[in-house]
């Protein structure tokens, strides 16, 4: 019995060793295959022979390319050249337009299609200026608008010249339909959006209110798209925008200003809302099914607040219910010390009231409010919509390095915007 038992045990061990050897061989083969595959793919990408999809260069793509090649970096801004470029496109179709100069080289382009009925007009508003770009940091020159790997690379391709071309082509489609739209449609390309709109929208509101007469609906930039690989899973339409205020706080000594700054830190990140706008609550409910981790909190934010669970929401969601404030570094200006306070306010917040609140908070420390650099709001509901999909990495390049858009997604977006404008105009 012992000899037979020992033989069985040895046989079992031998089979186990064979199985282990086979498993190791399979694993080694898989690793070798993976290494070879990665090297082949890396060689393809490195030599430029791998392109996700063949580019289809449409007239709209060429328009965007030419538009991006006009350097409208702000500061200093050079919107007059961009306004003339867009005006030439309108003139090609015999559409009247006006270039409104707010200062030397600073310009806004305005065109209007008169509708059959007064009021309830649609404003397609976009800006021509772009934020600075350092060529040394970019993979491709920021104002060359090169096309590679089915993408156009350049400052403004996403923010916001790509959307501007989509607006323009939608406007032209309505203007050349052969009959008037139901209501007025306005195309407005503005200056100076990136630094506060002193020569753009704000200037026009003060000096040319007729541009906005009869307008009820506004379509601009904003909103998000969500992608799963190359498949669009969510189109987000922005219905409100936080409004920016920048103001100096000033004190005789650095110590006084430092104490005021430390006091304000309690408002940098907060776990309670200021107020939940109805539009924000509706937005939370709509996205809740797509947010597994915070689904229940978003589905009923009022209940989350009532049960003391609001703080569990991520800061990005909490900020949609708060007037946010933060402070930059302290600097010396002559005999005084100063620091810039940035405020990101809810759309209905009155900026002067917010500045008065700031003054009350810092007064006990011997500090006071100083020069106001930017003051926006309150604003009505304005719809922000990106008509073409943008993936995560492209969204991160906005105001950053290597801004770019996918060619065929952009072309599809121009078609989407045409259908939106024509549908609103009753011209489909």
Contacts of 258 (CB under 8 A, 6+ apart): 330
SS3 of 117, please? coil
Closest CA to 340 of 351, 329, 354: 329
Closest CA to 131 of 104, 103, 160: 160
Q: What average pLDDT does range 140-156 have in this prediction?
A: 96
Contacts of 254 (CB under 8 A, 6+ apart): 330, 332, 337
Contacts of 251 (CB under 8 A, 6+ apart): 257, 260, 336, 337, 338, 365, 366, 367, 368
Look up residue 334 and give its two tokens. Answer: 């002559």
Measured between alpha carbons, how far is 5 from 8 in angstroms, rounded to an integer? Answer: 5
How much is the mean pLDDT over the chain? 89
Please provide the DSSP assignment of 250-262 as one string. EESSHHHHHHHHH
Which H or E element spans position 75? none
Asked whether the predicted pLDDT for residue 183 surpasses 60, the reply is yes
Confirm or reject CATH 3.30.70.600 for domain 242-270+322-379, answering yes or no.
Answer: yes
Asked whether the predicted pLDDT for residue 393 surpasses 90, the reply is no
Tell how far CA 373 is from the center of its chain: 22
Asked whether the predicted pLDDT for residue 424 surpasses 80, the reply is yes
Using the 8-state DSSP alphabet, how is residue 115 labeled?
P
What digits encode the pLDDT tens for the residues 104-118?
999 999 999 999 999
Using the 8-state DSSP alphabet, how is residue 385 labeled?
-
Of the two residues 18 and 80, the one the predictor is more confident about is: 80
Q: What average pLDDT does range 195-222 have in this prediction?
A: 94
- Map tokens 């050079």 to a residue: 78
Look up residue 296 and give its two tokens. Answer: 């229940």
Residue 2's pLDDT band, with cuts at 50, 70 and 90, is: very low
CATH superfamily of 59-238+382-425: Zn peptidases (3.40.630.10)
pLDDT of residue 32: 63
Are 110 and 98 a contacting pair, CB within 8 Å? yes
Q: Which residues pair with 324 in a beta bridge?
A: 344
Phi, psi of 126 (to 5 degrees): -145, 160
Look up residue 216 and give its two tokens. Answer: 């009820």
Domain range list for the chain = 59-238+382-425, 242-270+322-379, 278-315
Are 103 and 115 a contacting pair, CB within 8 Å? no
CB atoms within 10 A of CB 396: 13
Phi, psi of 263 (to 5 degrees): -60, -40
CB atoms within 10 A of CB 56: 10
List of E strands, 236-352: 243-251, 324-327, 331-333, 336-345
Asked whether the predicted pLDDT for residue 5 surpasses 90, the reply is no
What digits encode the pLDDT tens for the residues 237-251?
777 788 999 999 999
Asked whether the predicted pLDDT for residue 200 surpasses 90, the reply is yes
pLDDT of residue 51: 47
Are 122 and 369 a contacting pair, CB within 8 Å? no
Look up residue 123 and give its two tokens. Answer: 């404003």
pLDDT of residue 239: 72
Whole-number Cα distances in Å, 40 to 30, 49, 52, 53, 150: 15, 11, 16, 18, 21
Asked whether the predicted pLDDT for residue 99 surpasses 70, the reply is yes
Are 321 and 242 a contacting pair, CB within 8 Å? no
Tell how far CA 294 is from the center of its chain: 23
């Amino acid at each position: 019995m012992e000899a037979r038992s020992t033989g069985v045990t040895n046989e079992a061990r031998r089979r186990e060793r064979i199985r282990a050897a086979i498993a190791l061989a399979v694993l080694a083969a898989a690793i070798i295959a993976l290494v070879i595959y990665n090297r082949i793919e890396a060689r393809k990408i490195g030599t430029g022979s791998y392109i996700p999809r063949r580019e289809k260069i449409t007239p709209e793509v060429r328009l965007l390319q030419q538009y991006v090649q006009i350097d409208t970096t702000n500061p200093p801004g050079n919107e007059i050249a961009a306004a003339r470029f867009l005006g030439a496109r309108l003139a090609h179709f015999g559409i009247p337009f006006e270039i409104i100069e707010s200062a030397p080289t600073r310009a806004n382009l305005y065109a209007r299609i008169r509708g059959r009925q007064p009021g309830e007009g649609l404003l397609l508003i976009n800006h021509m200026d772009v934020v600075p770009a350092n060529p040394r940091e970019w993979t491709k020159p920021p104002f060359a608008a090169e096309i590679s790997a089915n993408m156009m690379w350049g400052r403004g391709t996403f923010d916001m010249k790509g959307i501007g071309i989509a607006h323009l082509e939608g406007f032209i489609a309505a203007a050349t339909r052969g009959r008037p739209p139901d209501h007025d449609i306005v195309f407005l390309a503005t200056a100076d959006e990136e630094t506060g709109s002193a020569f753009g929208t704000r200037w026009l509101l003060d000096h040319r209110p007729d541009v906005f007469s009869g307008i009820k609906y506004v379509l601009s930039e904003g909103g998000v798209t969500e992608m799963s690989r190359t498949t669009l899973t969510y189109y987000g339409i922005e219905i409100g925008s936080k409004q920016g205020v920048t103001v100096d706080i000033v004190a005789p000594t650095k110590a006084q200003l430092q104490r005021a700054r430390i006091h304000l830190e309690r408002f940098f990140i907060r776990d309670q809302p200021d107020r939940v706008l109805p539009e924000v609550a509706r937005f939370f409910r709509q996205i809740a099914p797509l947010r597994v981790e915070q689904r229940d909190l978003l589905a009923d934010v009022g209940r989350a607040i009532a049960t003391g669970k609001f703080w569990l929401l991520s800061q990005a969601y909490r900020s949609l219910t708060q007037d946010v404030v933060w402070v930059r570094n302290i600097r010396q200006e002559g005999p005084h010390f100063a620091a810039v306070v940035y405020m990101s306010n809810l759309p209905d917040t009155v900026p002067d009231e917010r500045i008065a609140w700031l003054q009350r908070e810092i007064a006990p420390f011997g500090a006071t409010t100083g020069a106001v650099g930017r003051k926006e709001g309150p604003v009505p509901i304005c719809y922000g919509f990106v008509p073409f999909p943008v993936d995560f990495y492209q969204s991160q390049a906005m105001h950053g390095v290597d801004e770019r858009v996918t060619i065929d997604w952009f072309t599809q977006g121009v078609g989407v915007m045409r259908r939106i404008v024509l549908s609103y105009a009753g011209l489909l």
